[in-house]
């Protein structure tokens, strides 16, 4: 018995479900960036920086806070990338399955935000 090929819509739905599950398993999230400076570099050893209303805010952290926040920032970046993929899949599904107005020429992938 040969496995059946999934339709494009079914593949998108399966991928979308996988991305939703990935989001559900992420831990704490935070924006910004952290770095570990060597001794004698000047300034805080573990600074956390982020933008608030267009201004850069810098906070000194302990080593434990640095490790925790480093993971939270990595999780935030994963969330952002996952959401970008989910948006792309959503737009693909919309423009391929929901009827739209008649057009003289097909919309490009760039216009649809698929590339």
How many domains are contained in the chain?
1
pLDDT of residue 69: 97
Boundaries of domain holding 20? 8-112
CB proximity list for 78: less than 8 A, separation 6 or greater:
22, 26
32-69 pLDDT tens trace? 999 999 888 888 899 999 999 999 999 999 999 999 99
2 inside domain:
no
Strand partners, 49: 33, 58
Taking the CA atoms of 69, 80, 78 and 18 in sequence, report the sign of the dihedral they define: positive
1 inside domain:
no
pTM for the whole structure = 0.80
Token output for 110: 């760039």
């Amino acid at each position: 018995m040969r496995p059946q090929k999934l339709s494009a819509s079914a593949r998108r739905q399966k991928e979308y479900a996988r991305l939703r599950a990935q989001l559900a398993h992420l831990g704490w999230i935070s924006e910004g960036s952290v770095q570990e400076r060597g001794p004698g570099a000047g300034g805080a050893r573990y600074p956390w920086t982020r933008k608030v209303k267009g201004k850069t805010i810098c906070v000194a952290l302990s080593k434990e806070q640095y490790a925790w926040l480093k993971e939270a920032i990595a999780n935030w970046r994963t969330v952002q990338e996952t959401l970008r993929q989910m948006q792309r899949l959503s737009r693909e599904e919309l423009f391929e399955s929901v009827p739209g107005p008649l057009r003289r020429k097909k919309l490009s992938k760039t216009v649809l935000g698929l590339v």
